[in-house]
Amino acid sequence: MADRSGARARTGRPRDTHIDAAILDSTTALLGEVGYKHLTMGEVAARAGTTKPALYRRWSSQQELVLAALARQLGGIEPVDTECTLCDLHESISLFVDAFQRLRPNLLAPLLADCAGHDDLRDAFMATLFEPPRQAVRQTLRAAVARGDLRPDLSLDLAVDLLASLVHYRTLFGHAPLTGTDIEDAVETLLRGIAVDYDALLAQSLGQASPSSAHGLHEAHA
């Protein structure tokens, strides 16, 4: 993600990066303790041993500060490519699940609501929380297309949305858990529509000693 710190250009001495780290640490800790709705800039400043003006010199709003803390918490997300397409797509959905499970429950919906009315904040929300796993899954799908496992006319963006939508829906509304079996069912349903030959992919998967945790689920579906 591009730097969304919202820092304003200043003259004079350089910004103290130790304070930056303390602020982000405090934000992450408070999100875990009190949640997004009850987070205040004053509490973050006090926890970090600094002042509210110091926060606003670095991030122009509470939303930008929270997004910066979440970006650091999520870290990098790498694409999956084991050359077993069933396993890779199962793990791809798991990328979304793992990313959101690192966040406190009931954080995404109110944060999105606060960001939705502002184009720059909405763009930052998407770039921080949704684009990293989307880009990784897109690369995984592209590799599967190149192997000839998925149709060459596949719309990668649409396929990514199909894979991610189950996770986003259940994460935002929190009405149901998302189990490994649910993910496997979603992958099977999707692949029967976009695979060149689903049965061949299943046979290929069963013939491999795949390290993927999804491998046993494929066997159960055979």
Q: Are 60 and 6 in contact (CB under 8 A)?
A: yes
- Measured distance between the N- and C-terminal CA atoms of the chain, rounded to whole angstroms: 40
Query: Token pair for residue 132?
Result: 């990293």
Q: Which two tokens stand for residue 111?
A: 């944060």
Per-position pLDDT tens, the chain of length 222: 444 444 444 444 456 678 999 999 999 999 989 999 999 999 999 999 999 999 999 999 999 999 999 999 888 888 888 888 888 888 888 887 887 777 777 788 899 999 999 999 999 999 998 898 889 889 999 999 999 999 999 999 999 998 888 888 887 777 788 888 888 888 888 888 888 888 888 888 877 766 565 655 555 555
Among 80, 70, 109, residue whose Cα is nearest residue 183: 80
Query: Which residue, among 74, 55, 71, has the nearest Cα to 6 in the 3D structure?
Result: 55
pLDDT at 2: 44
Question: Looking at residue 95, what is its pLDDT?
Answer: 80
